[in-house]
Amino acid sequence: MGSEAGASKPVIKVAAICGSLRKGSFNRGLIRSAIQISKESINGMQIEYVDISPLPMLNTDLEVDGKYPAAVEAFRQKILEADAFLFASPEYNYSVTGPLKNAIDWASRSPNVWADKAAAIVSAAGSLGGARAQYHLRQIGVYLDLHFINKPEFFLNAFESPAKFDTDGNLIDSASRDRLKALLLALQAFTLRLQGKI
């Protein structure tokens, strides 16, 4: 029984999206850890990894008779069904990655399926831990009517010693796992508050 077990809470569904397509990505490792932590010690939270790699590049010519390509329709449905979002965003050139921005843009096409939901961001990158990408993602979220939690923030320098990840990209640093759990609990509380359930 997890440390957060006790009185039953409404179950929230969290869609986890990684901006890196690389299987060994540290950011993908953060999502795997978040899923594990939620299963082991957070009552009332289900996190599902949603793969953005099948999405074609945004092209409105692909929208036919009000329909989107099959991969886009499936992705948009996952976003629509989620109560909240966990973004794992590496930093490319001071910003979010192309695949992540592409996914965001597809789901923002009418009707915008991001709107009025809670979100949190984690990132593993170089010296600033992806901070600039996170701030850019928050700016994008303003127009999407996404509501990001403000604290705690989670930036992780993936390359400092001692090692934070193993050779398979799994998070092994206990302090970082504790910080990740704190962020997930904050996302859960904020989501329930937005939904009027607490």
Question: Please, which pLDDT band fits residue 7 given cuts at 50, 70 and 90?
Answer: low
Our measurement of the distance from residue 6's CA atom to the centroid of its chain's CA atoms, rounded to an integer in Å, reads 26
> What pLDDT score does 161 carry?
83
CA–CA gap between residue 120 and residue 186 (Å, rounded): 9
Q: For the chain, what are the domain ranges?
A: 12-58+65-194
The predicted-structure confidence for 134-190, as pLDDT tens digits, reads as follows: 999 999 999 999 999 999 999 999 888 888 999 888 999 999 999 999 999 999 999
Question: What DSSP element (H or E) covers 13?
Answer: strand 12-18
Q: Is the pLDDT of residue 3 over 70?
A: no
Neighbours of 144 (CB within 10 A): 18
- Omega within 30 of 0 (cis) for the link into 152: yes
The pTM score is 0.93
Tokens of 135: 């701030």
**Which residues, including other chains, have CB under 8 Å from residue 196's CB and lie 6 or more apart?**
none
Q: What is the CATH code of the structural domain delimited by 12-58+65-194?
A: 3.40.50.360
Structure tokens at 26: 């540290």
Query: 2 or 72: which carries more pLDDT confidence?
Result: 72
Q: Answer yes or no: is pLDDT of 6 > 80.
A: no
pLDDT for res 29: 95
The CA distance from 176 to 171, in Å, is: 8
Mean pLDDT computed over 98-119? 97
Given a cut of 60, whether residue 1 has pLDDT beyond it is no
